[in-house]
Structure 1
Amino acid sequence: MIIKDVQVHYRNIPLLVPFKTALRTANDIDSVDVNVILDNGIIGMGAAAPAVAITGDSTESIMSALLGPIKGVLVGHDLNDFQTALKKVQLCCIGNTSAKAAANMALYDAYCKWLNIPLYAYLGGRKNLQTSMTIGVDTPEKMAWDAEKSVEAGFHLLKIKVGTHPELDINRIEAIRRAVPPDTKFRLDANQAWEPKQAVQILRELEKRKLGIEFVEQPVSAHDWEGLKYVTERTCLPVMADESLFTAKDALKLVSGRYVDLINIKLMKCGGITEAWKIAGIAEANGVKCMVGSMMEPSLSVAAAAHFAAAHPNVYYLDLDAPLWLSEEPDHLTYDGENVLLPGRPGIGVVQPV
């Protein structure tokens, strides 16, 4: 079962509507698709999306890493030695987590296709998955309308993007609360937009208003770990790390030092399923629950994240709605309202090209 070739393809995928956060507005996404081709005809498939502001990875750098050092260590390798292949990808270059994630999931896909089992079965679990729906930054009226439509579509978990202006953010959340049923849960995502003292002030005000907020994600700068801890220790709302978390070493410091209450694992940040599994295990050992999230990325990589989330016992929250924003129809997973349904096909579940 020798790896014969690694091929890379680029696609641009328009979004159905613009995706707005405190950091940017996106109208489309780039997808770098990778095929790991075995000598027995099996093709393992993975994908990555650039997010320069978060991972530092561009479309060009992802393609270069895949066709350069990653291809160099994989071609000629016997995939029967599966764990060594995974390790080679992680060690072949510094950084490039998005490219590593794409190669990592392609290797898992190929190996599970050879075993003829779904990825979640290889990982050892299949719990039910419910994702939140993201409400992008806009006027209070537009965000309330978007939230109402999301609830009508079957979502009772809303991830609300905030961070552009504190007073306006509170008005946005209150407008959404008035528009949706009282059992709808809110998850706030500030995308690093607040200063620590400002975040505490905003969150304490939101606590007083009892708006049904489950947790707040990355309220301060990714590099301001002491700021994260400052906010965590001074608010009753659980604080989740996102952009602050890339590696298992990051996770160990964040959870053992009690910098945050929760962590958000994304394959594009950590480099794939192998590192994600380590992160979730470290968090579990320290009594910290995990969310599995995605950036605005192709449905193939989101499906890989969903398989991981279904299997790991310390994943309690999901933010995997990205495919619902894309103009293409995924064949890797389906949605029934907020329920994410994994296919029973081998590997990630992608129909292999003929």
Structure 2
Amino acid sequence: MNIRDIETFQAAIPLKKQFKTALRTVTIAESVVVKVTCDNGVIGFGEAPPTHVITGDSLASVDYMLTEVFKPLLIGESLLYREQLFEKIQTAAVGNTSAKAALDMALYDCIAQQARMPLAQFLGGYHETIETDYTVSVNSPGEMAEDAQQYVNDGFSVLKVKVGKDLIKTDVARIQAIREQIGSDVFIRLDANQGWDAKGAVKAIRQMEDLGLDIELIEQPVKAHDLEGLKYVTDHTDTPIMADESVFSPMDAKRVLEMRAADLINIKLMKTGGIHQALKIAKLAQIYGVDCMVGSMIETKIGITAAAHFAASQPNVTRYDFDAPLMLADDLIEGGITYKGSSIDLGGKTGLGIKAVHQDYVRID
């Protein structure tokens, strides 16, 4: 089974509501979709959204890497030697993790289809069902409390709340308002997106602990490069701390794990460069007895389907942040995962189970 063609398309789908974090505001989900066609007719899909403030990738850079670098390198190559393929992808360029991830997931889609297995089973087959959280975007305390209540009404029992954009006292007020609104039965996890410094993070977290706000975990409280600061927060608070932007590669994960700089790791395919590298991070974390969450950028159901299959395959992936498609005004694909409230059904089809990409939101270059 050899690679016959690699094609790219650009897609753009409006969000139902602005998505705001400490790093950016998003109103439209843009993405580069990649389609890999094999000589036996098997077709695999992947995608890469541009997330300049995290990965440094843009629509133009992703498309260039896929069409001008990876395509000439991989056309005619056999998927039966996948370790060689993924090594070529990783060593062909420094960085460019989103473009690598898009191609990686499309290749895994093809490989699992050829094996006649859903990708989750091909990768390990551990979890049968997974449940996503829903993200509360950064706004005023009152608006965030109203949004949180709506998501709980929609069937979500875990909320991921964005903080880190304003003063610490404002963040504490946000969480107080949300907890008062939704009660004590709903899990709240926070994501500061690098918005605090180490001492400020400890101050904020201790305040929330003293107020009994019952926070499940705090994600990336400090700058990505500040591993000493991350460790300081981890060592000086009782609430579990999760590394996100601090971990792109297996080497990054190794440093965080060796330092005991965080209690948990958030794996995202757009950071790791795809499933092949993400598997290494998950296995390394498992050796250290550390659980992982698998999250995403603002992606369509193509990328989230790939991430969900990876997450369901690993025993130490215990948390899931796959709400992005639910934020979009429409669906880009036919097939893939399906949602019932917070529950995600992988579908049971071979590969990613993607039948078609709808053309309404796709521009063919």
Work out the CA distance in 1 between the residues paired with 2:290 and 2:124.
Answer: 21
Partner of 2:45: 45
- In 2: Cα distance, 1:146 partner to 1:352 partner: 33
**Contact 2:137–2:161 at 8 Å: present in 1 too?**
yes
Question: How far 1:290 sits from its partner (Å)?
Answer: 0.4
Query: Which position in structure 1 is the counterpart of 2:343?
Result: 339
Give the SS at the match of 1:291.
Answer: strand
SS at match of 2:80: coil
The whole-number CA distance in structure 2 between the counterparts of 1:131 and 1:43 is 28
Partner of 1:220: 222
Q: Structure 2 residue aligned with 1:230, among 214, 229, 232?
A: 232
Aligned partners of 1:349 and 1:248: how far apart in 2? 28
Q: Which residue of 2 aligns with 1:153?
A: 154
What is the letter of the counterpart of residue 76 of structure 1?
G
How many angstroms does 1:12 deviate by? 1.1
**Aligned amino acid, residue 337 of structure 1:** G
After the TM superposition, which of the residue ranges 32-41 and 80-89 deviates more from structure 2?
A: 80-89
Could you list the per-position Cα deviations for residues 151-179 of structure 1 after superposition, in whole angstroms to 9, with x for gaps in the alignment?
A: 11111100000112211111110111111
Q: Secondary structure at the match of 1:107?
A: helix
List 4+ stretches of structure 1 deviating above 3 A.
Answer: none
Aligned to 2:297: 295
Once the 2 structures are TM-superposed, how far is the Cα of residue 184 of structure 1 from its aligned partner? 0.5
2:133 paired with 1:132: yes
Q: 2: CA distance between counterparts of 1:353 and 1:60?
A: 21
Aligned 8 A contact 1:43 1:352 in 2: no
Distance change (3 Å), C-alpha of 1:201 and 1:229: same
The answer as to 2:324 corresponding to 1:322 is yes
What does residue 348 of structure 1 align with? 352
Is contact 1:223-1:244 (8 Å) kept? Answer: yes
Aligned pairs for 1:158-197 within 5 A: 158-163=159-164, 164-197=166-199
Q: 1:353 to 1:337 in 2, by over 3 A?
A: closer
| AA at the equivalent of 1:56 | G
Matched, 1:83 2:86: no
Counterparts of 2:339 and 2:30, CA distance in 1 = 22
Secondary structure (helix, strand or coil) at the match of 2:89 reads helix
Instruction: Tell me how large the CA RMSD over aligned residues is.
Output: 1.2
What's the CA shift string for 1:57-87, capped at 9, x where partnerless? 1110000000122112210101222222222
Amino-acid identity (%): 47
Secondary structure at the residue paired with 1:351? strand
Q: Partner residue of 2:93? A: 93
Q: Distance in 2 between matches of 1:108 and 1:62?
A: 19
Task: Supply the distance in 2 between the matched residues of 1:19 and 1:353 (Cα, whole angstroms).
Answer: 24
**Kept after mapping to 1: 8 A contact 2:24/2:53:** no
Pick closer, same or farther for the CA change 1:202–1:227 going to 2, 3 Å: same
Question: Cα distance, 1:126 vs. partner?
Answer: 4.3
Q: Equivalent residue of 1:302, what SS?
A: helix
Letter in 1 for 2:342: E
Would you say the 8 A contact 1:174–1:211 is kept in 2? yes
Distance in 2, matches of 1:86 and 1:349, equals: 22
Residue 257 of structure 1, CA deviation: 1.2
In the alignment, the residues of structure 2 paired with residue 156 and residue 106 of structure 1 have an alpha-carbon distance, to the nearest angstrom, of: 32
| Structure 1 range deviating more: 13-22 or 80-89 | 80-89
Distance of 2:277 and 2:288 partners within structure 1: 17
**Shift of residue 122 of structure 1?**
0.5
Give the TM-score normalised by structure 1: 0.98
2:315 to 313, 316, 320: 313
Aligned to 1:33: 33
The count of residues paired between Structure 1 and Structure 2 equals: 354
Instruction: Tell me, in whole angstroms, the C-alpha distance in 1 between the residues paired with 2:185 and 2:357.
Output: 44
Preserved contact between residue 86 and residue 104 of structure 1 (Cα < 8 Å) = yes
Stretches of structure 2 that go unaligned for 5 or more consecutive residues are 359-365
CA spacing shift, 1:73–1:289, aligned 2, 3 Å: same
Query: Does the CA-based 8 Å contact 2:31-2:49 persist in structure 1?
Result: yes
Q: Deviations over 1:7-64 (max 9, x none)?
A: 1111111111110111111100211000111111111111111101100111100000
CA contact 1:86–1:107 (8 Å) conserved in 2: no
Give the corresponding residue for 1:250: 252
What amino acid is aligned across from residue 278 of structure 1 in structure 2? K
